Amino acid sequence: MKKKVLSVLLSTAMITSLLVGCGGGGSQSAPAADGGSTEAPAEDSGSAQTEAPAADSASSGEVEEITWMFWDDLNATEDLISIGYKDTVERFNKDYEGKYHVNVVTTNLEEYYAKLNALVAAGETPDCFIVSPGPNLDVYVEPGVAADLTSYVKADGWIDSFNGGEGAFSQQTYDGKIYAVPLNIAAACVFYNTEMFETAGITTMPTDWQGMLDACEKLQGAGYTPLTISAGTAWCLSMLAGYLCDSEGVDLAAIDSGSASWLDPEVVSATNKLVEISKYFQPTAAGDTNDVATANFYNEEAAMLIQGSWAIAQINGSNPDFESKCGVFAFPGTDGRVIAKSDSLAMSATTTHPDAVIAFMKYFTDDTAQKYTAEVGGKIPVTTVEYDASKAPAQLAYVMDVFGNAKSTFGFYNESMATTEAGAFFDDTMVSIYLGTPVEDGLASLEDFYKNNVWNK
């Protein structure tokens, strides 16, 4: 299959229709191919609300067992989205008792892709697995690991239950075929402690880079750690770097094509800004994981957290009392551009139980699951479900405002580059520069990587 370079954008039109429909209110290696294909789907319900199967629907006495791989421990998690996924699994297994049964394979986020790739290489690809768009999905599309879901998604009106219809699948589409089903939408924002901001005398949220630095100075002067971030989980730091690159006008597509350079002044300026703001990080940022950095925020050990709105579920699940003092604003200086992404489900091309997998996927997008996504988890639903905004976490309304004021969206830098390896090298380079590698030396190593692994391939 010819590779489609994916920029991982959600169109403004899609976001607009989404807002109207919500009721208001190391690097990874590409896995080896394991071949195979799935057959066209049998007729089944595409309604927004999943219906339980008839008691005698199984044609044989054997229950079809499928596996789903996920990046959190569903039995130990405090993350509200993950808890909702556990409920979805239990609901599916109960409704399909005697016909289908899903077994969950879990690991932590940092090890997820390495362990998934190991299963793929061993010919043991899970029947269903969660994945992010961009290179982290196309490495499963190109070698034929992920199944083409187009006919399933378009059967019986399932696709029409999504906000924007087929447009909702723009991040999951390669060469005109759909390879994954989105579950929710999130934006990368700045979370802040409203009480700390008030004590520090910050009454207006920063809208430009100097305003962000000024806020950090005031917070530090008031005795607070201004920012908590994870360099131990490299993508967290590179998400910040991605915002800075985009705000400086870096053309990532031009770099990927070889018509621009990692040594261009815009990249140098963005990376210098990363170094500039790093003096306001918590002292343990170099080794802190994503979970630890986020805990620093909801435990009130730092005033700000730059993170995706998926963190709402973790923040509120871990410290419900903190919700009332957790504000959200758009990352400053981006001219209305917001990083957006969605979690998605893919199906193994070698599964022998495609109908069971599709039935399982539909439970994540039915009204019950999607209402929970908004009302409890604080993420934006992908379907046209109407939810009670008064029940949703307070932070979701702030995130919706960020989306509503956005001019356009773009994807994670490390998920928007030419290859997964390029994204991982970018992550590692940003961490290296934060740890003390001179900016010019770090960017030169990134340039050399592209010369050897992207531009000359």
pLDDT digits (tens, 9 = 90+) for 426-453: 999 999 999 999 999 999 999 999 999 9
**What is the spatial distance between Cα 327 and Cα 228, in angstroms, rounded to a whole number?**
15
Q: What is the pLDDT of residue 416?
A: 87
The mean of the pLDDT values for the chain is 87
CATH architecture, domain defined by 187-340+411-455: 3-Layer(aba) Sandwich (3.40)
Q: Return the amino acid letter for 375.
A: E
- Summarised one tens digit per residue, pLDDT across range 102-138 is 999 999 888 998 999 999 999 999 999 999 876 678 8
28 or 229: which leads in pLDDT: 229
Residue 20 has pLDDT above 90, yes or no: no
Do 12-183+342-386 and 187-340+411-455 fold alike per CATH?
Answer: yes
For 78, counting Cβ atoms within 10 Å of its Cβ (0-12 exposed, 13-18 middle, 19+ buried), the class is middle
CA angle 73, 79, 84 (to 5 degrees): 85
Question: Whole-prediction pTM value?
Answer: 0.78
Q: What are phi and psi of 428, to 5 degrees?
A: -65, -35
Q: What is the pLDDT of residue 412?
A: 86
- Six-digit token string for 316: 């509120």
The helix/strand count (H/E) of the chain reads as 17, 14
Query: What distances in angstroms separate CA 356 from CA 56, 105, 178, 353, one per listed residue?
Result: 16, 17, 18, 5
| Residues shown for the chain | 457
User: Which residues does 160 contact at the CB level (< 8 Å), separation at least 6?
Assistant: 46
Q: What is the pLDDT of residue 10?
A: 32
- Summarised one tens digit per residue, pLDDT across range 74-97 is 999 988 999 999 999 999 999 999
Please report, rounded to a whole number, the percentage of residues in the chain having pLDDT higher than 90.
74
**What is the spatial distance between Cα 188 and Cα 309, in angstroms, rounded to a whole number?**
6
Domain 12-183+342-386: give its CATH code. Answer: 3.40.190.10
Q: What is the pLDDT of residue 28?
A: 37
Over residues 211-231, the mean pLDDT reads 98
Q: What is the pLDDT of residue 106?
A: 94
Name the band, by pLDDT with cuts 50, 70 and 90, for residue 39.
Answer: very low
Contacts 24+ apart (CB under 8 A), 316-321: 316/80, 316/378, 316/393, 316/395, 317/77, 317/78, 317/79, 317/80, 317/83, 318/78
**What is the spatial distance between Cα 5 and Cα 253, in angstroms, rounded to a whole number?**
9
Residue 22 has pLDDT above 80, yes or no: no
Q: What is the pLDDT of residue 133?
A: 78
Name the band, by pLDDT with cuts 50, 70 and 90, for residue 60.
Answer: low
- Tokens 């009721």 locate to 23
Range with lowest mean pLDDT among 281-295, 337-351, 399-413: 399-413
What are the boundaries of each domain within the chain? Answer: 12-183+342-386, 187-340+411-455
Q: What is the pLDDT of residue 52?
A: 52
Q: What is the pLDDT of residue 34?
A: 37
Residue 37 has pLDDT above 50, yes or no: no
Residue 384 has pLDDT above 90, yes or no: yes
- Summarised one tens digit per residue, pLDDT across range 246-273 is 999 999 999 999 999 999 999 999 999 9
Over residues 20-33, the mean pLDDT reads 35
Name the band, by pLDDT with cuts 50, 70 and 90, for residue 369.
Answer: very high
